[in-house]
Amino acid sequence: MKRHSFFIMLFFLLFQSYSQEDIEKVIFPDIDNERFVGKDFPVVFDLRNTDSLSPVKTQPNGGCWASAATGSVESIWRTYGFGYFELSDINLKLYHGFVPERSTNGNHYMATAYFSRRSGPLLKNPETDSLYHKEPATAAYITDARYLPNDPQLIKQSIMDYGAVYSMMYYKKEILDTINNTYYTDVEKINHAVNLVGWNDTLITQGRRGAWIAQNSLGEKFGEKGFFYISYEDENILNYNAIWNKWIPYEPNSKIYYYDTLGSFYSYGFRDTICYGLVKYTAESDLEITKTGTFVNFPNTKIYAEIYKEFNDSSKALSGKLSEINEYHCKYAGYYTLDLDVPVQVAKGKDFFIMMRYITPNDTLPLPIETFIDGYSEPHVTSGKCWVNPNYEKWQNTWYECGPASEWKTLNFDLCIKVYCIKIRKN
């Protein structure tokens, strides 16, 4: 298992104060390029035998998804010596931003939206857990998420490399074997979230041999002091998985620009595997742009970005290129942040434009968008800030405006393109 040196870990644990230089010393596994050909895994692996698990949670009512998400983050941070934090699952459950009924019916997409716009994660504190924080002071900003496919080898490697892996399942207490704390169902349904923290290839369950070791959020009186075993053959386990695999320290001088408060669950396109999005922002202070971020809805999407000074509303022409981000292969769906080749400084009051290209292997809706979804999301969609283009390389002036003011009803959405900046302090 990859970890910090002892001295870096000791510094983190004693002082609980982090800088960008500190976090850059973390060597994250490159999950986007991990290979498993011919790889052997131990027959049994259990994070309970390591220092990578936080205490078993007792979830807020209906908040298993929030407890699992924050528990996974806690585990990953512990794995890399970032600190023994306990994060507020209650705050995530209350202020996810989606329709109220989703508070007890959440998922990892909602958690990523909350993390990516920096609403949290907050440190657990009974005095503030139930309060909304517009600009919360948190231990760190989560910058990335990966939604892992149903691949047992990948899940095993992720548990070993990172820590607890968020996963969804169908849970009904009558099905649990309370003698052996094993679980198996062939019902195809999702109603619960847990964290996978290991495996046992030899354990016999109702679903034959082999089981995942799961950390539940029903307190230590549940199962084996809060843990139980889910059969490899369970109908639902591994169908929906996530890890939040990268983060940066809290920096009060940083700034994030975005319109997609709730992130992406739907996609848009022009019946082709390529699509471009363009977003306009105005600097609220002198700032330096360091990276961009976007949701990626399909595995093996390739993304590329450029930043410009100007966009002519009449001619639809971009000009004054400032920087770019080299094409990046996104092996998994999730949320990605990428560093600019050259950071860009923008003066207060000046506009800047981010163009991002998405190419998928075969899906014809490559562009991640935020839009209204009945019973799920009711976002505030902006006007005059986002445009789409079928293929900028062929039609550089073919930009269609998005939002409520668009002449095309199907374009009533926000683009999921964020920008990360540092405010420039004046002497």
pLDDT digits (tens, 9 = 90+) for 144-189: 999 999 999 999 999 999 999 999 999 999 999 999 999 999 999 9
Closest CA to 108 of 332, 367, 403, 379: 332
The contacts of residue 123 (CB under 8 Å, 6+ apart) are 85, 86, 87, 88, 138, 139
Q: What angle do CA 64, 126, 251 make, to 5 degrees?
A: 90
Q: Give yes or no for residue 21 having a pLDDT over 90.
A: no
Strand-strand pairing, 266-268 and 241-249 = unpaired
- For residue 265, the 8-state DSSP code is S
Closest C-alpha to 26, from 93, 104, 98, 79:
79
pLDDT of residue 294: 98
Cα separation, 427 vs 414, in Å, equals 37
Mean pLDDT in residue range 221-227: 97
Burial 270-289 (b: 16+ CB within 10 A, else e): beebbbbbbbbbebeebbeb
Nearest to 366 by CA among 281, 294, 419: 294
Is the confidence at residue 256, as pLDDT, over 70? yes
Please give the angle made by the CA atoms of 335, 240 and 225, to the nearest 5 degrees: 110
Please report which confidence band the pLDDT of residue 9 belongs to, taking 50, 70 and 90 as the band edges. Answer: very low
* Token pair in block for residue 136: 């919360």
Query: Per-residue pLDDT tens for 394-421?
Result: 999 999 999 999 999 999 999 999 999 9
Distance from C-alpha of 96 to C-alpha of 379, rounded to nearest angstrom: 12
Q: Report the chain's C-alpha Rg in angstroms.
A: 22
Please tell me the number of Cα atoms within 13 Å of 304 on its side-chain side.
Answer: 12
68-93 pLDDT per residue, tens: 999 999 999 999 998 899 999 999 99
| pLDDT at position 199 over 80 | yes
In terms of phi and psi (left: phi > 0; alpha: psi -120 to 50; beta: otherwise), the region of 129 is alpha
- Cα separation, 372 vs 381, in Å, equals 9
| Residue 347: Cβ within 10 Å count | 10
Q: Is the pLDDT of residue 37 over 90?
A: no
**pLDDT for res 67:** 98
Q: What is the pLDDT of residue 31?
A: 87
Q: What is the Cα–Cα distance from 65 to 57, expressed in whole angstroms?
A: 12
The HSE-up count of residue 366 (CA atoms within 13 Å, CB side) is: 28
Question: Which domains, from first to last, does the chain contain?
Answer: 20-244 (3.90.70.10), 253-423 (2.60.120)
Q: pLDDT band for 238, please (50, 70, 90 cuts).
A: very high
What order of strands is seen across the sheet that includes strand 301-311? 318-330, 301-311, 351-359, 274-282, 386-389, 400-401
Residue 34 CA: distances (Å) to CA of 161, 164, 297: 11, 18, 20
Determine which helix (DSSP H) or strand (DSSP E) holds 112, and give its type and residue range. Answer: helix 108-116
Task: Indicate the pairing of strand 227-231 with strand 241-249.
Answer: unpaired
For the four alpha carbons of 74, 1, 213 and 55, in that order, the dihedral sign comes to negative
